[in-house]
Structure 1
Amino acid sequence: MLIDTTLREGAQTYGVTFDNSACRELIKTLATAGIEEIEAGWAGQKELGELLSWARGLVGNTALSVWARLKAVDIDLAAAAGADRLNIGVPVSDAHLGSRLGTTRDKLLLELRELIPLARNRGFGYVSIGLEDASRADMGFLLQVARRAAELGADRVRIADTVGIMDPSAMMELTTTLRNIFPAHIAVHCHDDFGMATANAVSALRAGADFADVSVLGIGERTGVSRLEEVASFMSLRSADKRYDLSAIRKACRMVEELADIAVPRNKPICGRDIFACESGLHVDGLLKAPALYEPFPPEAVGQTSSARRIEFGTKSGRSAVGAALKQLGRAGNPGNLSALTEAVRDAARDLGRPLTKHEVADALGA
Structure 2
Amino acid sequence: MDDYSRNTLMQYINPKPKDIEICDVTLRDGEQTPGVVFTREEKIAIAEKLDSIGIEVIEAGFPVVSKTEEDIVREIAHLGLDARVCCLARSVAKDIDVALRCDVDFVSVFIATSDLHLKYKYHKTFEEAESCALDVLDYAKDHGLTVRFAAEDATRTDVNVLKSIFRAAEEHGADYVSIADTVGILNPSTAHYLVSEIKNTVKTKVCIHCHNDLGMAVANTVSGAEAGAFQLHTTVNGIGERCGNASLEELLVSLRVQYGIERYDVSQLSELSKMVEQYSGIPIPRIKPIVGCNAFAHESGIHVAAVLENPMTYELYAPEMVGCKREIIIGKHTGSKALKGVVQKMGYDLSRDQMCTLLDRVKKCSEAKRKVTCERLTEFIRELE
Aligned: 1:66 with 2:87:
yes
Q: CA deviation at 1:60?
A: 3.2
The TM-score normalised by the length of structure 1 is 0.92
1:146 aligns with 2:166: yes
In structure 2, the partner of 1:312 is: 329
Residue of structure 1 equivalent to 2:16: none
Tell me the distance in 1 between the aligned counterparts of 2:255 and 2:59.
20
For the Cα contact (< 8 Å) 2:64–2:70, is it kept in 1? no
Equivalent in 363, 367, 372 of residue 356 of structure 1: 372
Which whole-Å deviations, capped at 9, do the CAs of 1:83-119 have from their partners, x for residues lacking one? Answer: 2111011111011112111111222332244222211
- Which AA in structure 2 matches 1:170? T
- CA distance in 2 between counterparts of 1:201 and 1:50 reads 31
CA RMSD of aligned residues (A): 1.9
1:43 CA displacement: 3.8
Q: Offset of 1:301 from its aligned partner? A: 0.5
Q: Partner of 1:331 in structure 2?
A: 349
Change (3 A) 1:108 1:220: same
2:141 paired residue number: 120
Partner Cα distance (1:358, 1:255) in 2: 27
- TM-score normalised by structure 2 residue count: 0.88
CA shift for structure 1 position 227: 0.9
- CA displacement at 1:348 relative to structure 2: 3.2
Q: Separation in 2 of the partners of 1:60 and 1:360? A: 48
Where 1:208 maps in the other structure, the secondary structure is coil
Tell me if the contact between 1:280 and 1:318 (Cα under 8 Å) persists in the aligned partners.
Answer: yes
211-220 vs 246-255, which deviates more?
A: 246-255
Cα distance, 1:338 vs structure 2: 5.0
Please, which of 249, 259, 264 is the counterpart of residue 279 of structure 2? 259
Alignment partner for residue 229 of structure 2, among 209, 214, 217?
Answer: 209
- AA paired with 2:348? G
Kindly indicate whether the alpha-carbon contact (under 8 Å) linking 1:276 and 1:310 is maintained by their aligned counterparts in 2.
yes
Q: Distance in 2 between matches of 1:161 and 1:92?
A: 12
Cα separation, 2, equivalents of 1:253 and 1:228: 9
For the structure 1 residues 326 and 40, does the alpha-carbon distance in structure 2 shift closer, same or farther, using more than 3 Å as the test? closer
Contact in 2 for aligned 1:28/1:59 (Cα 8 Å): no
Q: What number of residue pairs does the alignment pair up?
A: 361
- Cα separation, 2, equivalents of 1:139 and 1:112: 18
Question: How far did residue 66 of structure 1 move?
Answer: 1.0
Aligned residue among 90, 106, 122 for 1:85 = 106
Unaligned 5+ runs, structure 2: 1-20
Q: Letter of the 2:349 partner, please give it.
A: R
| Comparing 265-274 and 63-72, the one that deviates more | 265-274
Question: Does the Cα contact within 8 Å between 2:268 and 2:322 map onto a contact in 1?
Answer: no
SS of corresponding position for 1:47? helix
Residue by residue, what CA displacement relative to the aligned partner does 1:215-274 show, whole Å, maximum 9, x if unpaired? 111111111111111111222333221221223332221121111111111221111123
**One-letter amino acid of the structure 1 residue matched with residue 266 of structure 2:** L
Q: 3-state DSSP class of the match of 2:168?
A: helix
